[in-house]
Amino acid sequence: MNITTKTVHEVSYSDLEELIKQTYGQEFSVPADQEIGNDSSINYDNMTKGNDYDREAVMDFAATGQHEYILAEILQDLVEQDLIPEGNYLISICW
């Protein structure tokens, strides 16, 4: 049996929403953006500097607050700005 051990950064969706609001000046709902319910989680692997992502979509969100399925791009942008560490993320949804 092959076993791989990973370091994962676990963050509450509400803490992430607060960081997004502070960084981009816009309200953001992780559950709404990802269309996900209570008592669930979302995984994002390999959030490292230099990954391709839609920076223009993130800037449009910052300017207008409009978005659709943009959480991965926001996480990538936060990594690029050194606001969160590189790595794998587990976003916990629980209210």
17 phi-psi bin (left φ>0, alpha ψ -120 to 50, beta other): alpha
Residue 2 lies in a domain: no
Q: Which residues make Cβ contacts (< 8 Å) with residue 67, sequence separation at least 6?
A: 28, 33, 57, 60, 61
- DSSP H helices, the chain, are 13-24, 30-34, 55-64, 71-80
Report long-range pairs for 59-62 (Cβ below 8 Å, ≥24 apart).
61/24, 61/26, 61/28, 62/24, 62/25, 62/26
Segments forming the whole domain that contains residue 84: 8-93
pLDDT at 95: 86
Number of domains in the chain: 1
pLDDT at 20: 98
Residue 6 has pLDDT above 90, yes or no: no
What confidence tier does 2 reach under pLDDT thresholds 50, 70, 90?
very high
Residue 68 lies in a domain: yes
Q: One-letter amino acid identity for 60?
A: D
Instruction: Give residue-wise pLDDT tens across range 13-60.
Output: 999 999 999 999 999 999 999 999 999 999 999 899 988 899 999 999
Instruction: Give residue-wise pLDDT tens across range 57-86.
Output: 999 999 999 999 999 999 999 999 999 999
What confidence tier does 91 reach under pLDDT thresholds 50, 70, 90?
very high
What is the rounded CA–CA span in Å between residue 84 and residue 18? 13
Residue 35 lies in a domain: yes
